[in-house]
Structure 1
Amino acid sequence: MEKGVPMCLVTVLLFALTCSLASASDPSPLQDFCVAINSSTSAVFVNGKFCKDPKIVTADDFFFSGLQIPGNTANRLGSNVTRVNVDLLPGLNTLGISFARVDIAPYGVNPPHLHPLGTEITMVAEGTLYVGFVTSDPDNRLFTKVLNKGDVFVFPIGHIHFQFNVGKTNAVAFAGFSSHNPGLITIADAVFGSNPPINPDVLTKAFQVDKNVINYLEQQFK
């Protein structure tokens, strides 16, 4: 250790680093499980959900069926995401994981979005997907890859990412998340479809376009 650097300072810095890393994901559970329940009767409030009384927990609280069913991609994006988070599978509460099925029609897209509370790992089960994510300022570097059946790609927590079907057949992917409720912010919906709307002067300046362009885009998300 360099002369003049007190051991206590190093200890404080290491402690601060550890705390910052720990805050990047869901907290570790302090009990076997905390099955989410919407009622507060005979329950304990933990991490955004009430815990069901362990004495009345059943196997069904840890079970979900339905991911074998293709999602409906007959929409303007040509995609559908079936999310298995704590709202559909109560037993996930506090466990720090969740799951999703992603269906994308030919040339459909799961548009640029981010998960503020969890990292995503995606595996392609059928078809071919062009995927990517963008790093934060100041680089805004784009990482992309074309994925085929069996390929896996990771989208780091909080980064804007997308999946685009570049094949001629339907694509299916399955995604895991490092949170029981990773959250979702779809960029276009948030910017042009917020409620109430963002002042168009803000968006005009931010995107450096005519106000008519902003008005047109906002109309698409009403």
Structure 2
Amino acid sequence: MKRLPDLSNLKNLSRLRVLECSKLREIPGLGRLELLIELYLGRCYNLHEIEGFEALKSLKELNLSRYKALKRIPDLSRLTNLRKLIITDCIDLNEITGLDRLESLKDLNMKSCTSLERLPDLSKLEKLEGLNLHDCEKLHEIEGLEALKSLKELNLSSCFLERIPDLSKLTKLRTLDISGGTSLGKLPDLPNGCFVKGGEHASHW
């Protein structure tokens, strides 16, 4: 199937999952699903662009996984109710905009987006509790990381970061994973009770 039927008449649809449709190229009417709260699109390898979901203002969970051809995502800034964002194994994704406006976001997982070179300033994501950037190997800096006061889990494994800022004010941080890649000379300042995973740095702080 290369094209789904027009979804625009499904006004009351709250959840949509489209998985392993390897020939799919288009999802017509997606932007008309104003009551949609969960969108999961996984392993649709020929879906190069996803048009319309930037208008889904009720969306709370967005999951995009294993899109080998996906290079860009529409501006996310209007998804102000989004709580959970999963964009994993999108190996050609090199741009993401509007992420810095998602002030309700609690969980951000972008592991193995190996072409991603930069993120917007994350400092306004004050409700973020989990951040997973495992294997984002071209990402060298994360701006605003030190301002994420609700953060509990931070996974930077297999990243080659040039620096990690002072995290001592992140008093809720319990786990920092820097294994398998980053070659920091020393750890950043951390809050008490934070467990660090990563070779010679593995310890409780």
TM-score (norm 1): 0.24
**RCO (CA 8 Å, sep 6+): is it higher in 1 or 2?**
1
- Structure number with greater Rg is 1
Q: As a proportion of its length, which structure holds more helix?
A: 1
Q: As a proportion of its length, which structure holds more strand?
A: 1
